[in-house]
Amino acid sequence: MALTESHAYGPLEPPVRDLTIGELLREAASDSGTRVALVEGTADVSARRSWTYAELLAESEQVAAALLARFEPGDHIAIWAPNIPEWVIAEFGIALAGMVIVTVNPAYQKAEVQYVLSQSRSKAVLVVDSFRGNPLLATANEVQADCPDLTEVIRFAECDEFLASGNSAGSTPDLPQVQPLDKAMIQYTSGTTGFPKGALLHHRGLVNNAYHYLDRLGTERFDIYVAQMPLFHTAGSVMTVLGATGFRCTQVLIEVFEPGLSLELSETYGANSMFGVPTMLVALLEHPDFESRDLSSVNALCSGGALVPEQLVRTLEEKLGAKFTIVFGQTECSPVATMTSPNDTIEDKAATIGLPMPHVEIKIVDTETGDTMQIGGVGELCTRGYHVMHGYFEMEEETTDAIDAEGWLRTGDLAAMDDRGYCTIEGRLKDMIIRGGENIYPKELEELLFGHPSVGEVAVVGLPDDKWGETVGAFVRPAPGFEVDKVELFNHMRENLAPHKTPKQWFALTEFPLTGSGKIQKFRLRDQWVAGEHREL
C-alpha cells in the first residue's frame, strides 16, 4: 500500500536476537571452529598470519582473563592501533570480559587522544608503538598523567607477557555473565561537522545490526570479505568484524587501505564482497591494476558514509558485474538505519538510500514543528528501534537533544521519502547552504558535478558572505589526466540548475581533508577558506 506520510517500518525478518558479542564468537567457534576467521592481509605474503574461529575464541578468552586480572567488568578499555589482527582479538576479549571497548583513531595527535581517553574514562589503552610516523606509545605515556582514570598503557608488542598475566594458556578462564543490553562500545563520531562525541552502544544493537547488514547485502555463509574499513569505525569493528562472524565469513584484514593491495588480496583470496566509502572505490577504479586483476569472485559491493555518486554505482556494476548496495546510518544507530537491496533498480540504488533495516522505523519530520512530513517533503530523518545507542557518554544535554522521549534519534540529515518508503538524502542540517534565504542542498550539486568526466571528487560548501549570508563554493579534485576548467564546469551546472545554485567560487585540490573513515570534512574546507588557505580559480 502506498504511504501518505513519510513514516516507514522495516521488515520483521531476520529476527532480533538477544545476543552478546562474546556469545556470537562462541557460537561461531562451536559450529565452525576449523573455519578460517581472520587473515592478516599484509603486503608481505610470507608474513600473512591466519586464525580459525576456534583459535580466535581461545586467544580472545586469554585477553579477557588478562584484563580481568587488572580491571573490573564495566571498565572502559581503549584500543589505539591500525587494522592489526590483535585489534580484532582485543575487541572480542574486552567484550568477553564484560568491559567497554573505546575505539581511538590512530591518526590522532596528543590533544585529540588525551580528550578521548579522558572523556571516555578509559582505565587502560592497548597501543602499538607507532603508526605512519605517529609515535602512539610515546604519546600515550605522555598524556597518561593528564588522564585521571588511565592506570595502564599496554603495548601490543608485549602481547605475550600481557596474556601470561591472566589464566594460563589452555585453561578456560572464569568470565562474567554479560547481558545483551549491557554497554559494549564507545565509538567517537566521525567529526565531519565538529569535534566528536562518544556514542555509547550496546551488544544487542551491534550484533544484530551487523548481521542484518550482511543479510541484505546478499552475503552467503562462509564468504570471503575484504576488510578495508578502519576498525576504530563502526564500518570496520561492527559491520565487518561482527557481521562476518555472524555469517562465519573469512575476513581478510588490511592494515590501512591501499588500493593496489586491496585489489591483490581480492584476487588472491577470491573475495566475494567488500565495503568502501566512495573515496576508496574511486581509488580502486583509478588504480592501474584494476583492469588486470581477476575480480570475478566479487558479487557484492557496498558503500555509504558519504555521497555515493550515481555514476560511481553504474560504473562499478558495469565493470565488475557485482551487485551494488548503499547503506545509510551513523555511529549512533549501530550504525545502519536504511539500505538498498542488490535487486533494486539501478535508479533506486544510484539515487536513494533504500528502505529501513529490519525492525527499524524511519520518519521524516518538519525541522521547525517536528510534525511528520507528507510524502516527498524534505525534513530531518529520524529513526527508532533496537539499534539506537544508549546515549552520548556523560553528555546528558547532547543525548536529550539527539533522542526524544519516544526513543526517536534525530540524525541531523535532511531527507525525503517516496510512497514506497525509499528515502533520499538531501544534505545535512549543518551542511545546508542558505543563500539569501534560499535553501540549497549540496548533494544535488555534487551529484551533477561528479557526472562530469573531468571531476574525480567534489565537495560543495557554503562560504560566508556579507551580502548573501552564504555563497556556494565548489572544491574539486580533477580526475586523472584532467584539469579543473572553471568555465566548462560553470556552464555544465547552468545547463541543469537555477542560477542561484550554481557555484560562485571554484577551487582545485589535489586531496581533501578527510576523517579517519574517509569522509570529506567540509567544516575544515570552510575554515581553511576563511583562513585564506584556498585560492579561487
**CATH code at position 100:** 3.40.50.12780
Threshold 0.75, pTM exceeds? yes
pLDDT at 470 over 90: no
Report pLDDT for 436: 65
SS3 293: coil
Instruction: Specify if 390 maps to a domain.
Output: yes
Please calculate the CA angle 165-52-131 and round it to the nearest 5 degrees: 60
Q: Are residues 327 and 473 in the same domain?
A: no
Burial code (b: 16+ CB inside 10 Å, e: under 16) for 312-347 equals: bbeebbeebebbbbbbbbbbbbbbbbbbbebebeee
Q: What percent of the chain has pLDDT over 90?
A: 76
Instruction: Specify if 292 maps to a domain.
Output: yes
Q: What is the mean pLDDT of residues 177-190?
A: 93
Report pLDDT for 168: 55
Instruction: Specify if 536 maps to a domain.
Output: no
- How far is residue 381's CA from residue 412's CA, in Å, rounded to a whole number? 7
Instruction: Specify if 295 maps to a domain.
Output: yes
Q: Are residues 506 and 383 in the same domain?
A: no
pLDDT at 70 over 60: yes
Q: What is the mean pLDDT of residues 1-17?
A: 96
C-alpha distance from residue 164 to each of 51, 101, 157, 531 (Å): 20, 21, 14, 53
pLDDT at 131 over 60: yes
* Mean pLDDT lowest among 213-222, 280-289, 337-346, 435-444: 435-444
Report pLDDT for 433: 82
Q: Are residues 211 and 346 in the same domain?
A: yes
Report pLDDT for 306: 63
Instruction: Specify if 537 maps to a domain.
Output: no
Which of 417, 451, 474 is the last residue before a domain boundary? 417
Stretch (H or E) spanning 405: none
Q: Are residues 162 and 135 in the same domain?
A: yes
pLDDT at 265 over 60: yes
Cell digits of residue 419: 510512497
C-alpha distance from residue 501 to each of 59, 84, 377, 452 (Å): 56, 45, 20, 17
pLDDT at 54 over 70: yes
Which of 393, 417, 441 is the last residue before a domain boundary? 417
SS3 263: helix
Q: Are residues 134 and 224 in the same domain?
A: yes
115-119-122-125 Cα dihedral, nearest 10 degrees = -20
Q: Are residues 385 and 266 in the same domain?
A: yes
Report pLDDT for 305: 67
Q: What is the mean pLDDT of residues 85-92?
A: 98
* CATH at residue 448: 3.30.300.30
Q: Are residues 375 and 494 in the same domain?
A: no
Q: What is the mean pLDDT of residues 301-322?
A: 84
Q: What is the mean pLDDT of residues 219-233?
A: 95
Report pLDDT for 507: 96
pLDDT in tens, 362-421: 999 998 899 999 999 999 999 999 999 999 999 999 999 999 999 999 998 889 999 999
Q: What is the mean pLDDT of residues 62-78?
A: 97
Q: Are residues 396 and 445 in the same domain?
A: no
Instruction: Specify if 114 maps to a domain.
Output: yes
Residue 134 pairs with which residues in a beta bridge?
Answer: 131
**Domain total in the chain:** 2
Cell digits of residue 449: 558535478
Strand runs labelled E in 263-305 = 273-275, 300-304
- How far is residue 106's CA from residue 210's CA, in Å, rounded to a whole number? 23
Which pLDDT band, with edges at 50, 70 and 90, does 193 fall under? very low
Report pLDDT for 192: 44
Q: What is the mean pLDDT of residues 461-476?
A: 85
Q: Are residues 148 and 276 in the same domain?
A: yes
Q: Are 516 and 454 in contact (CB under 8 A)?
A: no
End-to-end CA distance of the chain: 51
User: Sheet containing 336-339: which strands, arranged edge to edge?
Assistant: 50-52, 36-40, 250-253, 224-227, 273-275, 300-304, 323-329, 336-339, 355-356
Q: Are residues 447 and 349 in the same domain?
A: no
Q: Are 278 and 306 in contact (CB under 8 A)?
A: yes
Report pLDDT for 86: 98
> 47 vs 471, which has greater pLDDT?
47
Q: Are 139 and 113 in contact (CB under 8 A)?
A: yes
pLDDT in tens, 242-258: 999 999 999 999 999 99
Instruction: Specify if 206 maps to a domain.
Output: yes
Instruction: Specify if 426 maps to a domain.
Output: no
pLDDT at 117 over 70: yes
Contacts 24+ apart (CB under 8 A), 24-31: 24/207, 24/242, 24/245, 24/246, 25/53, 25/56, 25/57, 25/60, 25/92, 25/96, 25/245, 26/57, 28/53, 28/57, 28/245, 28/246, 28/248, 29/53, 29/54, 29/56, 29/57, 31/248
pLDDT at 194 over 60: no
pLDDT at 190 over 60: no
Task: Give residue 209's domain range.
Answer: 7-417
Looking at every residue in the chain, the average pLDDT score rounds to 92
Which of 417, 441, 464 is the last residue before a domain boundary? 417
pLDDT in tens, 415-457: 999 999 999 988 777 677 877 666 677 877 888 898 899 999 9
> 260 vs 168, which has greater pLDDT?
260
pLDDT in tens, 491-530: 998 887 767 788 989 999 999 998 776 778 887 898 899 8
Q: Are residues 408 and 437 in the same domain?
A: no
Report pLDDT for 518: 76
Report pLDDT for 171: 60
Q: Are residues 410 and 488 in the same domain?
A: no
